Structure 1
Amino acid sequence: MKQDWKKADKQFYLPKAKPELVKVPPFKFFSIPGQGDPNDKPFQENIGVLYSLAYTIKMSPKNNFAPRDYFEYTVYPLEGIWDLTEEAKRSNLETLDKSQLVFNLMIRQPDFVTP
């Protein structure tokens, strides 16, 4: 049976209507840090790389290779942590300059994925 993060990990990915504290255990991710406007081509290319890696692992049994302890699963959603450059934090910007965004894009991986 395929593991579906929407069911198995809904406490982390499908929040309730009322805010609550949730203790999140350590998870494994493919991640790419970067800086710049999310509308620019490099940002979109980073997303493509992450999904390419995630789907390569997921589809590996179809290519006659399965990592140890592999199980069928649904690819996790794209996640991101956003911030501003130190320069942007120091300036008193009235409008957001998207080129000053700093990000860490990531897609969670199942436990069988190891470094």
Structure 2
Amino acid sequence: MSDLRANRVAEQMKKELGDIISRKIKDPRVGFVTVTDVHVTGDLQQAKVFISIYGDDAQQEETLVGLAKSKGFIRSEIGQRIRLRKTPEISFEIDEAIEYGNRIESILKDLNNES
């Protein structure tokens, strides 16, 4: 039961976070960000937000710093948009899955070209 609710809250947070980050955050350090996934714990206390950032490593670090500084504002916006007794603590992580998938694809392509 709580897993179903956590999944629904995570999907709602993913949608709202995309809107908040793209429209409400005015920090110049925050670049082009896509929210790829959100994992919420069963007790709805913690939310791990996976993001994909366009740019090199320096731009990604700057964006993470900007998002960390905006965490309080983002959390209050989420609290206003989603009706929960307590808004989850948010942590941001770069989603490595896309880069990992691209690396696997290029390795497979190289193997096929060698054959």
Which TM-score applies when normalising by structure 1? 0.30
The structure that is helix-richer by fraction is 2
Q: Which has the higher contact order (CA 8 A, sep 6+)?
A: 1
Higher-Rg member (1/2): 1
